[in-house]
Homo-oligomer: A and B are copies of this chain.
Amino acid sequence: MAQLAGVSTATVSRALTAPQKLRPATLARVTEAVRRTGYTPNLAARTLRARRTMLVLVVVPDIANPFFSDVLRGVDEGLSQHGYGFLIGNLARSRAKEPQLANIALAGQVDGMLLLNGRIPQGGRRSLTASDIPMVAVCEAIEGARIPQVEVQNREAARQAVAHLARLGHRRIAYLAGPPDNFVERERRGGFCEGMTAAGLSARSARFYPGDFTFASGVAAATAFLQTRPRPSALFAANDEMAIGFVKTMRSAGIVVPDQVSVVGFDGIEFADFVEPTLTTFRQPRRELGYRGATLLVAAMRGEAIDPAQAHQYLPVPLLERGSTALAPAV
């Protein structure tokens, strides 16, 4: 290959990694030879010598969750643009695999990590936090971690949900919660309370139904809701799946949504469009979350300084006003 172009292997290497260092004529000869032979540099050799793998480990809490697959699409776009590929580390909703994933990074098998799970994996042979492996957190923020993060304006959106309902005349607004140890749940709940206060309503006296982000917990909340007196006229669910479970149960109990109860969800999953009535919700910019996270990580892996203003991004989540919210029924 090098012979065909009449140059040394060093020159070939330079042609591929630092073309500006070559005379145009030489570069052209090498390029032509590369084209003719269909030469591809061996990745392993390059990695071995240059100590870069051009690979990123993406830690996902649950790969079977469609939410993350959309985020992954953005990650894919952001990384492949810069020549990076990615490995997927699926935690499958448990922490058992964390040490294994941490070690992949610590062993230098990847150049950086993208954390979608709201936690820095623990239990590796060394501490990831203390290492200088570039990491970026996406979707679920990691409190106290000194790494770039990209999340959505959970708190702000939740406030807006309450404001939207208050504007429609609702005064008894309930909250359908996620798991209490979850970061986004806490943000959304906090925003809900702030929104209540801002609307001149008492957050203290609002009804809070427990939930865990599943459809089933939405159903359970609906059952509890039916027995609540006085019955709230609106409900803000911390995610769409619960909201849909809630709405479905309401309807089978003969309660008309939105006439008797307004419901607001969160996430903007695809099926929010397909249920009856269509769900009023906040559309998370999933692809964008992944894309921005990937872009930040690439910068970090290249050793570029990250603009502090970019280091922690809060993306806006637009409210989609649709069929499940309406004016409060007259008292």
Contacts and interface: CB of A to CB of B under 8 A. Distances in A.
Given A42-B48, A64-B287, 6 more contacts: A43-B53, A44-B45, A44-B48, A64-B70, A86-B88, A274-B275
24 contacts: A38-B126, A40-B103, A40-B125, A43-B47, A43-B53, A43-B109, A44-B44, A44-B45, A44-B53, A45-B48, A47-B47, A55-B87, A63-B73, A63-B76, A66-B66, A73-B90, A76-B88, A86-B87, A86-B88, A87-B87, A215-B273, A215-B274, A248-B274, A274-B275
A107 B104 CA distance: 23
A293 to B, nearest CB: 15
A239 to B, nearest CB: 13
Chain A, interface size category, equals 35 or more
A276 interface: yes
Contacts of A275: 274-275
Nearest to A287: B64
Nearest to A50: B44
A84 to B, nearest CB: 11
Contacts of A66: 64-66, 69
Question: Could you say how many copies of this chain the assembly holds?
Answer: 2
Contacts of A126: 38
A199 B20 CA distance: 72
A264 interface: no
A329 interface: no
A157 to B, nearest CB: 22
Contacts of A40: 103, 106-107, 125
A327 to B, nearest CB: 21
Contacts of A86: 87-88
Interface string A82-119: 00011110101000000000011011110000000000
Nearest to A244: B274
A125 B274 CA distance: 44
A252 interface: yes
A68 interface: yes
A108 B64 CA distance: 29
A30 interface: no
Contact of A76 (B90, B106, B245, B252): B90
Contacts of A14: none
Interface in A26-81: 38, 40, 42-45, 47-48, 53, 55, 63-66, 68-70, 72-73, 76
A126 B215 CA distance: 49
A88 B64 CA distance: 14
A63 B53 contact: no
- Quick one: which of A53, A72, A88, A107 has the most chain B CB within 10 A? A88
